[in-house]
Structure 1
Amino acid sequence: MWTETSGIIGVGYEGHDISSFIAFLEPWKIDVLVDVRLNAISRKKGFSKTALSSALAEAGIRYEHLPILGNPKDNRDGFWSPGTNAAKQAYARYRELLRAAPAHAALMKLAKLGTSEHVALLCFEASETCCHRRLILEAVEAEAAALAHI
């Protein structure tokens, strides 16, 4: 459900209601939750942008949405089939998207946030192996390493 990278964990809200999700975050002492969904909407009550932001604020957690790091809808199927050719193609396409200037700037922002705050990256999938946030965490780790050498 989580991977810790440079002060940043990845979390999915699959299987949670808003109360259990907030309770899940508490032991991690999260300062800011960064939503990396392309569109911060959900059919699951409490997880659309406004409601989620409000619930997090009540728990003392800041909310930020970085839609530039969202995975395009037409690239998601491969992530749901780890180890397949479709997955390899989806990962390659998403990594290419991360190299674009706006996404790279968002990765730098995350790397910097992770040096001073406890950050959680949010998407839906409970399993990192089925979610693009794993690739974001890998890219942020590379950015953090680069920042450490500056």
Structure 2
Amino acid sequence: MGELLTIGYEGSNIADFVATLKRSDVKILIDVRELPLSRKKGFSKRALKGALEAADIQYTHFKDLGDPKPGRDAARAGDFATFRKIFSQHMRSPAAQAAIEEAIPLVKNGGACLLCFERCHSNCHRSIVASELLERTSLLIRHIGVQPGLAGAFAN
């Protein structure tokens, strides 16, 4: 049975992030942020895509699998019940369902990893997206974390 990985980049740097993906045999990173922008150097869409391509990892962005602003606001405020309600409702939208259908062949091929910001997956919408994909595939979900210092270990 194959795996679908998920990862958050909170608190990491781009070098360790990419090294973690390489060590985990990720072939395609599926960005599920509504807005693929970041104040953290290297994690906005264009820079991230470039870093991944240099490491032979494909990048794709699914805006419609991102958490809408009201859901992000609720999560930031620690109101996870409201966040889950908002995001679950969003996942029933035609756009989100179409994005799930489009993502299925990418994850079935193996080597796929869902990306969002939060380090911990338990209160991140990527867990809900992963669960939705799990319902439609026979994949296992594995949440991975960025390994600090890994890029330096690869350099040696």
TM over 0.5: yes
Match of 1:76, SS state, is helix
Deviations 1:82-134 (A, max 9, x none): 7xxx3222212211111111111111222221211311111111000121101
The equivalent residue for 1:148 is none
The equivalent residue for 1:40 is 36
The equivalent residue for 2:150 is none
Separation in 2, partners of 1:45, 1:74: 25
Q: Which shows bigger deviation, 103-112 or 12-21?
A: 103-112
Name which of 9, 13, 19 aligns with 1:17.
13
The equivalent residue for 2:149 is none
Q: Which shows bigger deviation, 68-77 or 119-128?
A: 68-77
What is the RMSD of the two structures over their aligned residues, measured on CA atoms? 1.8
Following superposition of structure 1 onto structure 2, how do residues 50-61 of structure 1 map, counting pairs within 5 Å?
50-61=46-57
Q: Give ranges in structure 2 of 5+ residues lacking alignment.
A: 139-156
Match of 1:45, SS state, is coil
Name which of 124, 131, 134 aligns with 1:141.
134
How many residue pairs get aligned? The number is: 138
Contact 1:6–1:111 (Cα < 8 Å) also in 2: no
Contact 2:4–2:111 (Cα < 8 Å) also in 1: yes
Q: Tell me the TM-score normalised to structure 1 length.
A: 0.84
Following superposition of structure 1 onto structure 2, how do residues 61-76 of structure 1 map, counting pairs within 5 Å?
61-76=57-72
Instruction: Report the alpha carbon displacement of residue 144 of structure 1 after superposing the two structures with TM.
Output: 1.6
Name which of 68, 75, 78 aligns with 1:79.
75
Following superposition of structure 1 onto structure 2, how do residues 53-132 of structure 1 map, counting pairs within 5 Å?
53-80=49-76, 86-132=79-125
Instruction: Report the alpha carbon displacement of residue 81 of structure 1 after superposing the two structures with TM.
Output: 6.7
Contact 2:80–2:123 (Cα < 8 Å) also in 1: no
Contact 1:6–1:144 (Cα < 8 Å) also in 2: no
Contact 2:2–2:110 (Cα < 8 Å) also in 1: no
* Aligned-partner residue type, residue 21 of structure 1: F
The equivalent residue for 1:30 is 26
Q: Tell me the TM-score normalised to structure 2 length.
A: 0.81
Identity of aligned residues (%): 34
Instruction: Report the alpha carbon displacement of residue 17 of structure 1 after superposing the two structures with TM.
Output: 0.7
